[in-house]
A = this chain, B = another copy of it.
C-alpha cells in the first residue's frame, strides 16, 4: 500500500495464521475469491498482511494494514475494522492505529475533559455524577434529587438510561421539572451543576427531545451508542453544541469472550471518542458486572490518550459502585475521572445531600493525585 494505512492487529485462534491473515485482508476490503483479484485491486484495495506473530497462549497476532482511503466515515471505519470478520471464529480486534487522514474525518467531543471542567469551574478533582432513578417515580422525585445534589455541590446529573417514555410530552415534563429545580439550586450555589437528559429515543424523536432539553438548560445527553447507532451519536454531537455521555447498554457481547470481539479500550475509548463522547460510562470491576481491572483501565487510558486533534474524554466507572470506593477509584483512575453513584447515593443515610458531602470530603483528601493521563 502506498500512502497512509489504518493498521490493525487481530488476535486469532487458528492453525493456519498466514492463510487467515490474507483471508481477513480480502474479506474486509473486496470480498471476492482470490482468483478474481487482479493486480491493481490487490495493490490498491486489499489489506496488506504486515506481521504474523505467535502469542504466548498459542494464538497469533495478525497485523493487517488497510489503505486509509477505504474509510471516509464512521460506518466505513467499523466495517473495515470488524464488520464481516466479527462473524469469524475466534478473532479479536486487539489494536488499531489510525492515520491522520482517518482522524481528520472526526470532530470528537464538543467539550472533552478540559471543556467540561471549564463549564463547571472544577479543575482539581474528579467530577461527581448521580443518576435520576428509578423509572416509574414521579417527576417531583427526580426534581428533588437534582436539587439536593446540586445544592450539596455535585457536578453532573444524568437521567437513568431506562427513563423511557411512550409520549414525548412525558419526557418533556420531567426535563422541565428537573431543569427548573436545578436552575434554582444553581442560582443559590453560584455553580453550574450540569444536566444530561436521556436521549435513548427512536431516531424520529431525537431532534425534538434534544431541542427541548437544550432550551430547558440541559448541558448534554445520555446516549447508548450501541442501542441507537454509533453514527447517530456522531451526527448528534456534530450538529449540536451539547455534551455527550455514552452509556454501555448493549455493548456486552463485544467483550464477553475475551478471545473474540473488540478490545474494550478500542470500542469504548477510541471509537466512542471519535463519535463525540465527552464522558464514557463503563461498568467498573467489583460492581454488579464482571469486568476486569485491566479492561477498565484500558478504557480509561484510551479515552485520555493522544488521538490527533480529538479532545480527551472522561472515563466514568459505574455500575453498583458504593460510596466507600471513592478513594480506591481515585487512586486507580486519577483525577480526570467522573465518579457515578446511582443507587448508593440515593440510598445513603441522610439522603442525597449528605452522600454528596461525604463524597466531596473523601475527594478532598485525594487532592494532588495524578490526573490519570495515560502511562
**A79 close to B347 (CB less than 8 A):** no
Q: Which residues of B contact A334 (CB under 8 A)?
A: none
Chain A 330-361 interface mask (CB, 8 Å, partner B; 1/0):
00000000000011101100000000000000
Say yes or no: A251 contacts B87, CB within 8 Å. Answer: yes
Q: Does A37 contact B (CB under 8 A)?
A: yes
**Chain B contacts of A41 at CB under 8 A?**
134, 136-137
In the complex, per-residue mask of A184-221: 1 if CB is within 8 Å of any chain B CB, else 0:
00000000000000001111110000000000000000
Q: Does A30 contact B (CB under 8 A)?
A: yes
Q: Which segment of A2-10, A110-118, A119-127, A286-294 sits at the interface?
A: A286-294
A291 contacts B229, C-beta separation under 8 Å: no
Tell me whether A161 and B33 are in contact (CB under 8 A).
no
B227 touches A83 (CB 8 A): yes
Instruction: Tell me the complex Cα distance, A23–B343, Å.
Output: 14
0 or 1 for each of A282-308: is its CB under 8 Å from B? (1 = yes): 010000111100000000000000000
- In the complex, are the beta carbons of A133 and B32 less than 8 A apart? yes
A86: contacting residue among B23, B36, B37, B253, CB under 8 A: B253
Q: Which of A82, A253, A342, A346 has the most B CB atoms < 10 Å from its CB? A: A253
Q: Pick the residue among B40, B229, B257, B319 that contacts A203 (CB under 8 A).
A: B229
A11: Cβ under 8 A from any B Cβ: no
Q: Nearest chain B CB to A6's CB is how many angstroms away?
A: 13
Q: How far apart are A230's CB and chain B's nearest CB, in angstroms?
A: 8
Residues of the B chain whose Cβ atoms lie less than 8 Å from the Cβ of A347? 32-33, 35-36
CB of A254 within 8 A of CB of B256, answer no
Interface membership of A135, Cβ < 8 A: yes
The answer to whether A227 touches B27, judged by C-beta atoms less than 8 angstroms apart, is no
**Residue with the greatest number of chain B CB neighbours at <10 A, chosen from A33, A74, A252, A289:** A252
Identify which of B78, B200, B229 contacts A79 (C-beta below 8 A): B200
Report 8 cross-chain contacts, Cβ distance below 8 Å, ordered by A residue. Answer: A31-B161, A37-B134, A41-B134, A41-B136, A75-B224, A76-B164, A229-B230, A231-B232
Known contacts A30-B135, A76-B200, A227-B231; 20 further A-B pairs (Cβ under 8 A): A28-B162, A31-B134, A32-B134, A35-B347, A36-B343, A45-B136, A73-B202, A78-B227, A79-B161, A87-B252, A87-B255, A87-B290, A89-B256, A203-B231, A204-B239, A228-B231, A229-B232, A252-B260, A253-B256, A253-B260
